[in-house]
Chain A
Amino acid sequence: MGETILELRDTKAYYIIEKNFVRAVDGVSLEIKDEIIGIVGESGSGKSTLSNVMLMSIKRPLTFMGGSVKLYTNGNELELTNINREELQKKIWGRETSIIPQSAMNALMPTKRIRSYILDVMKSHFEEIDEKEIIEKAINRFEEIGISGEFINRYPFELSGGMKQRAVIAVATLLNPRLLIADEPTSALDVATQKMVLKTIKELKDKKIVKSIVFITHDIATVRQIADKMVVMYAGKIIEEGTTDEMVSEPLHPYTKGLLFSVVTPEPEVKRRGITYIPGTPPDLINPPPGCRFHPRCPERMEICDKEEPLLKNINQRRVACFLYEKR
Chain B
Amino acid sequence: MALLEVRNLNKIYEIGIFRKKYIHAVKNVSFSIKEGEIVSLVGESGSGKTTTAKIILGLLKPTSGEILFEGKNLQEYFTNIDTIRELRRKVHAVFQDPFASYNPFYPIDRVLHQAIRLIGFDPASPEAKELMEEALRNVGLDPKSILGKYPHQLSGGEKQRIMVARCWLLMPKLIVADEPVSMIDASTRGGVIKLFEKLRKVQNTSILFITHDMGLAYYISDKILIMYLGELVEEGTPDEILSNPKHDYTKRLIESIPTLYKKWEDLEKIKV
Minimal beta-carbon separation of B63 from chain A (angstroms): 28
Minimal beta-carbon separation of B168 from chain A (angstroms): 19
- In angstroms, Cα B104 to Cα A104, docked, is 33
B193 nearest CB neighbor, chain A only: A275
Q: Which of B188, B219, B270, B272 contacts A271 (CB 8 A)?
A: B219
Q: Which of B194, B215, B270 contacts A270 (CB 8 A)?
A: B215
Binds B, one of A18-26, A110-118, A195-203, A284-292: A195-203
Output the residue of B190, B216, B252 with the most chain A CB within 10 A: B190
Minimal beta-carbon separation of A166 from chain B (angstroms): 8
Query: Which A residues are CB-close (under 8 A) to B216?
Result: 264
A191 nearest CB neighbor, chain B only: B256
Tell me if B201 counts as interface (CB < 8 A to partner A): no
Q: Which of B188, B215, B270 contacts A265 (CB 8 A)?
A: B215
Tell me if A124 counts as interface (CB < 8 A to partner B): no
Cβ contacts A254-274/B at 8 Å (1 or 0 each): 000011111111111111000
Q: Restricting to A208-247, which residues have a CB under 8 Å from any CB of B?
A: 218-222, 224-226
Tell me if A153 counts as interface (CB < 8 A to partner B): no
Tell me if B242 counts as interface (CB < 8 A to partner A): yes
Cβ contacts B179-199/A at 8 Å (1 or 0 each): 000000111111101100000
Question: A196-B272, A270-B219, A271-B219 in contact; A262/B186 too (CB < 8 A)?
Answer: yes
Query: Which B residues are CB-close (under 8 A) to A281?
Result: 155
Tell me if A73 counts as interface (CB < 8 A to partner B): no
Task: Assess whether A42 is in contact with B185, with CB atoms less than 8 Å apart.
Answer: yes
Task: Assess whether A192 is in contact with B256, with CB atoms less than 8 Å apart.
Answer: yes
Query: Which A residues are CB-close (under 8 A) to B190?
Result: 261-262, 264, 275-277
Task: Assess whether B191 is in contact with A267, with CB atoms less than 8 Å apart.
Answer: no
Output the residue of B155, B242, B253, B259 with the most chain A CB within 10 A: B259
Task: Assess whether B219 is in contact with A221, with CB atoms less than 8 Å apart.
Answer: no
Tell me if B261 counts as interface (CB < 8 A to partner A): yes
Question: A198-B267, A199-B267, A270-B215 in contact; A190/B44 too (CB < 8 A)?
Answer: yes
- In angstroms, Cα B44 to Cα A194, docked, is 14
Minimal beta-carbon separation of B267 from chain A (angstroms): 6
Query: Which A residues are CB-close (under 8 A) to B112?
Result: none
Task: Assess whether B260 is in contact with A263, with CB atoms less than 8 Å apart.
Answer: yes
* Size band of the interface chain B makes with A: 35 or more
Question: A198-B267, A225-B263 in contact; A277/B187 too (CB < 8 A)?
Answer: yes
Q: Which of B193, B254, B256 contacts A194 (CB 8 A)?
A: B256
Tell me if A146 counts as interface (CB < 8 A to partner B): yes
Tell me if B12 counts as interface (CB < 8 A to partner A): no
- In angstroms, Cα B217 to Cα A270, docked, is 12
Task: Assess whether A224 is in contact with B185, with CB atoms less than 8 Å apart.
Answer: no
Task: Assess whether A224 is in contact with B263, with CB atoms less than 8 Å apart.
Answer: yes
Task: Assess whether A279 is in contact with B44, with CB atoms less than 8 Å apart.
Answer: no
Tell me if A43 counts as interface (CB < 8 A to partner B): yes
Tell me if A188 counts as interface (CB < 8 A to partner B): no
- In angstroms, Cα B252 to Cα A146, docked, is 20
Tell me if A248 counts as interface (CB < 8 A to partner B): yes
Task: Assess whether A265 is in contact with B260, with CB atoms less than 8 Å apart.
Answer: yes
- In angstroms, Cα B261 to Cα A222, docked, is 11
Task: Assess whether A266 is in contact with B215, with CB atoms less than 8 Å apart.
Answer: yes
Query: Which B residues are CB-close (under 8 A) to A259?
Result: 186-187
- In angstroms, Cα B253 to Cα A264, docked, is 15
A278 nearest CB neighbor, chain B only: B187
Q: Restricting to B210-248, which residues have a CB under 8 Å from any CB of A?
A: 213-219, 238-239, 242
A245 nearest CB neighbor, chain B only: B263
Q: Which of A198, A199, A267 contacts B259 (CB 8 A)?
A: A267
Tell me if B264 counts as interface (CB < 8 A to partner A): yes
Task: Assess whether B258 is in contact with A194, with CB atoms less than 8 Å apart.
Answer: yes
Minimal beta-carbon separation of B241 from chain A (angstroms): 9
Q: Which of B213, B262, B267 contacts A195 (CB 8 A)?
A: B267
Query: Which B residues are CB-close (under 8 A) to A220?
Result: 260
Q: Restricting to A35-69, which residues have a CB under 8 Å from any CB of B?
A: 42-43
- In angstroms, Cα B252 to Cα A224, docked, is 20
Task: Assess whether B187 is in contact with A258, with CB atoms less than 8 Å apart.
Answer: yes
Minimal beta-carbon separation of B66 from chain A (angstroms): 33
Query: Which B residues are CB-close (under 8 A) to A271?
Result: 218-219
Task: Assess whether A264 is in contact with B219, with CB atoms less than 8 Å apart.
Answer: yes
Task: Assess whether A196 is in contact with B270, with CB atoms less than 8 Å apart.
Answer: yes
Q: List 10 A-B contacts (CB under 8 A).
A: A196-B272, A198-B267, A220-B260, A264-B213, A265-B257, A266-B219, A266-B242, A270-B219, A277-B190, A279-B191
Other than A225-B264, A264-B193, A265-B260, give 12 A-B pairs with Cβ distance below 8 A.
Answer: A191-B257, A192-B252, A194-B258, A195-B255, A224-B260, A225-B263, A266-B219, A267-B260, A270-B219, A271-B219, A277-B190, A281-B155
Q: A-B pairs with the 6 shortest C-beta distances?
A: A277-B190, A146-B272, A221-B258, A275-B190, A266-B218, A277-B191
